[in-house]
């Protein structure tokens, strides 16, 4: 079965990350099973307690014994139920976070192009569901279905000893029929669960996408338009949920009706056909088992439906974990090996030529890449970093073909300052050191001064400890750009790539930073429109939509 493979896959992952998980899992499972055994004994003790009332000779002794035994076992069962609840929640919390962490870490390792094709809303929704699906499958199979099966087996055994083979067989067949109905209903609900999950995915995607462009909505004064579009979307979402819940409700209602019919039949059947041979205690015990049987079958029916939903969710998570990706390639290189070398590099997307016949060797010093908007500058940079593999011609880094598996190696020796950096939640210092290994405080202060963040009358330590948040930081575009440049410097790599580093900086600040970089970085690659930089350092590669030139 596919879901068992998926469950075992997650089980192995959790076992590797969670010490003593298997032992803890087995221990809690035993507690669940023991509680079921205790619950199964309660109707027998209730029977003996009721029968002892009718025995005048042993009324006080037997009644007290069975009454105390009944209350003791009931109390023990409740205490163990609370204990198992505490330990199971403890275990499952670790399971959920392990799955969450595993999926996110796997997505981090995806090829760049695959990451770009992921819908963040869908990914978040899938991870949220699948993170808890392993726990819910565990609860459903090992901590609900198996204990219920144990209770039913014990009940049938007791009824067989008291009521005979025919009654016990009838009871068993009725149980199997109801379990079969519940299983069929659960399997048939798979498509309903998928509809509900897709609706949740769309809702998450819609929310993430809209929250990501609140600024544009403000600028374009489209709040009213967005609200109108949102009403249409949410009305459709509600319609989908209602339709799915209606279909599910009909199935669950049919199950409840079938269970209720069986309950009524056995109560009447026990009273009419066996009433003359049963004591009051016997009848109380039979009704107790029938009631327990009915409640457990109702619980089983709901568990099987939830189990089907969680199996679907489990698949949504495992598909991320089992995604095949090429392992990173870490070649051995010599100190004299050349850096980036392109030869007749061309790249097309959707039948559009993005790059055409680029030949260039990036030598030590400053290498300027220039071109009109849309000419492919960012695509060229992504190709150098191994993010674009669909090129023709050749692209090498230190003598090795550039591809996705080389990205990790390339980025271990190359720092990149993007045009639109993303800040992380934390302090100014956290953001500057993002990606850096070991940086002494003196160098950090020098970089802060170079980037003109510090003022003569300001406290650098206080500046570095300032919390600047993440995406919604109050930093200006120029300040964010300088943070990106600072990160690239502090990573301390021999090659630095800057994407439009001066676009949001004033001329004096830009000149100071670029001059320092040119003097201190062995190989500096700059994507820029800045005419001053082009005149000062020359143009290595000139890109345009009509013509591509290399020098």
pLDDT at 413: 92
Residues 32 and 136 placed together within one structural domain of the fold: yes
> Within 10 A of 303 (CB to CB), how many other CB atoms are there?
21
pLDDT at 475: 81
Query: For the segment 266-317, what is each residue's pLDDT rounded down to a tens digit?
Result: 778 777 776 667 777 787 888 888 888 778 888 888 888 888 888 888 888 8
Boundary-marking domain end, from 321, 348, 366? 321
| Cα distance between residue 468 and residue 429, in whole Å | 10
Boundary-marking domain end, from 321, 349, 365? 321
Q: How many domains in the chain? A: 2
HSE value, Cβ hemisphere, 13 Å, CA-based, for 3: 16
> Within 10 A of 545 (CB to CB), how many other CB atoms are there?
13
Residues 484 and 405 placed together within one structural domain of the fold: yes
Residues 470 and 523 placed together within one structural domain of the fold: yes
Residues 311 and 401 placed together within one structural domain of the fold: no
50 in any annotated domain = yes
Residues 429 and 283 placed together within one structural domain of the fold: no
Evaluate whether 440 touches 490 at the Cβ level (below 8 Å): no
Residues 284 and 368 placed together within one structural domain of the fold: no
Kindly state the average pLDDT of the residues 244-250: 86
Query: For the segment 37-75, what is each residue's pLDDT rounded down to a tens digit?
Result: 888 888 888 887 777 776 655 556 777 777 788 888 888
Q: What is the mean pLDDT of the chain?
A: 86
Boundary-marking domain end, from 321, 349, 377? 321
Given a cut of 60, is residue 391 above it in pLDDT?
A: yes
pLDDT at 548: 44
88 Cβ contact list (under 8 Å, min separation 6) = 28, 139, 143
Q: Quickly state the pLDDT bin for 513 (edges 50, 70, 90).
A: very high
State the CATH number of the domain containing residue 358: 3.40.50.300
Residues 181 and 119 placed together within one structural domain of the fold: yes
Q: How far is CA 394 from CA 344, 364, 389, in A?
A: 7, 20, 10
Residues 378 and 492 placed together within one structural domain of the fold: yes
| Cα distance between residue 396 and residue 339, in whole Å | 8
State the CATH number of the domain containing residue 85: 1.20.1560.10
Residues 264 and 119 placed together within one structural domain of the fold: yes
Q: How far is CA 69 from CA 54, 55, 73, 79, 157, in A?
A: 18, 18, 6, 15, 21
The candidate with the shortest Cα–Cα distance to 465, out of 433, 506, 508, is 433
344 in any annotated domain = yes
| Cα distance between residue 318 and residue 11, in whole Å | 11
pLDDT at 503: 85
332 in any annotated domain = no
HSE value, Cβ hemisphere, 13 Å, CA-based, for 400: 17
Residue span of the structural domain in which 533 resides: 340-550
Query: For the segment 330-343, what is each residue's pLDDT rounded down to a tens digit?
Result: 887 666 677 999 99
Residues 254 and 399 placed together within one structural domain of the fold: no
121 in any annotated domain = yes
Residues 132 and 278 placed together within one structural domain of the fold: yes
327 in any annotated domain = no
Query: For the segment 421-430, what is each residue's pLDDT rounded down to a tens digit?
Result: 888 888 889 9
| Cα distance between residue 370 and residue 525, in whole Å | 11
Q: Quickly state the pLDDT bin for 457 (edges 50, 70, 90).
A: very low
Q: Measured on CA atoms in the order 529, 533, 538, 541, is the torsion positive or negative?
A: negative
Residues 280 and 382 placed together within one structural domain of the fold: no
Kindly state the average pLDDT of the residues 479-488: 92
Its pTM stands at 0.77
User: 523 or 219: which carries more pLDDT confidence?
Assistant: 523
Q: What are phi and psi of 472, to 5 degrees?
A: -95, 30
The candidate with the shortest Cα–Cα distance to 198, out of 237, 232, 169, is 237
The region, left, alpha or beta by phi > 0 then psi within -120 to 50, assigned to residue 192 is: alpha
């Amino acid at each position: 079965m596919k879901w068992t493979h998926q469950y075992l896959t997650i089980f192995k992952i959790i076992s590797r990350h969670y010490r003593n998980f298997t032992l803890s899992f087995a221990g809690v499972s035993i507690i669940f099973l023991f509680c079921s055994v205790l619950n199964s004994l309660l109707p027998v003790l209730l029977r003996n307690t009721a029968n002892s009332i009718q025995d005048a000779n042993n009324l006080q002794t037997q009644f007290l014994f069975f009454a105390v035994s009944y209350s003791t076992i009931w109390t023990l069962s409740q205490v163990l139920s609370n204990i198992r609840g505490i330990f199971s929640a403890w275990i499952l919390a670790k399971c959920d976070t392990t799955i969450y962490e595993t999926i996110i870490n796997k997505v981090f390792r995806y090829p760049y192009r695959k990451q770009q094709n992921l819908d963040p809303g869908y990914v978040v929704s899938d991870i949220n569901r699948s993170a808890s699906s392993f726990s819910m499958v565990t609860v459903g199979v090992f901590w609900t279905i198996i204990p219920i099966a144990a209770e039913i087996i014990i009940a049938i055994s007791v009824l067989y000893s008291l009521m005979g083979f025919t009654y016990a067989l009838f009871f068993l067949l009725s149980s199997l029929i109801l379990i079969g109905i519940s299983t069929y209903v659960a399997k048939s609900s798979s498509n309903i669960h998928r509809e509900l999950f897709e609706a949740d995915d769309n809702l998450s995607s819609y929310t993430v996408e809209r929250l990501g462009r609140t600024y544009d909505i403000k600028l374009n004064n489209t709040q009213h338009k967005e609200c109108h579009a949102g009403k249409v979307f949410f009305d459709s979402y509600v319609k989908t949920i209602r339709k799915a819940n209606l279909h599910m409700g009909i199935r669950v209602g049919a199950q409840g009706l079938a269970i209720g019919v069986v309950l009524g039949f056995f109560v009447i059947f026990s009273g009419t056909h066996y009433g003359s041979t049963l004591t009051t205690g016997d009848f109380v015990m039979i009704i107790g088992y029938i009631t327990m049987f009915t409640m457990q079958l109702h619980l089983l029916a709901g568990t099987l439906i939830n189990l089907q939903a969680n199996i679907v969710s489990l698949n949504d998570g495992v598909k991320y974990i089992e995604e095949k990706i090429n392992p990173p390639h870490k070649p051995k290189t010599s100190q004299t090996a050349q850096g980036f070398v392109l030869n007749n590099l061309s790249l097309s997307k959707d039948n559009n030529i993005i790059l055409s016949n680029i030949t260039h060797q990036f030598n030590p010093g400053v290498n300027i890449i220039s071109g009109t908007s849309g000419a492919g500058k960012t695509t060229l940079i992504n190709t150098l970093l191994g993010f674009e593999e669909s090129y023709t011609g050749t692209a090498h880094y230190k003598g090795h073909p550039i591809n996705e598996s080389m990205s990790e190696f390339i980025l271990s020796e190359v720092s990149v300052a993007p045009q639109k950096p993303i800040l992380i939640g934390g302090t100014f210092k956290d953001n500057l050191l993002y990606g850096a290994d070991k940086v002494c405080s003196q160098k950090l202060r020098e970089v802060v001064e170079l980037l003109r963040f510090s003022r003569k009358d300001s406290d650098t330590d206080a500046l570095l400890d300032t919390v600047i948040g993440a995406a919604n930081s109050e930093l200006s575009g120029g300040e964010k750009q300088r943070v990106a440049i600072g990160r690239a410097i502090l990573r301390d790599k021999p090659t630095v790539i800057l994407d439009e580093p001066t676009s949001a900086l004033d001329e004096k600040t830009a000149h100071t930073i670029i001059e320092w970089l040119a003097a201190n970085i062995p190989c500096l690659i700059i994507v820029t429109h800045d005419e001053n930089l082009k005149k000062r350092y020359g143009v290595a590669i000139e890109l345009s939509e009509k013509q591509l030139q290399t020098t």
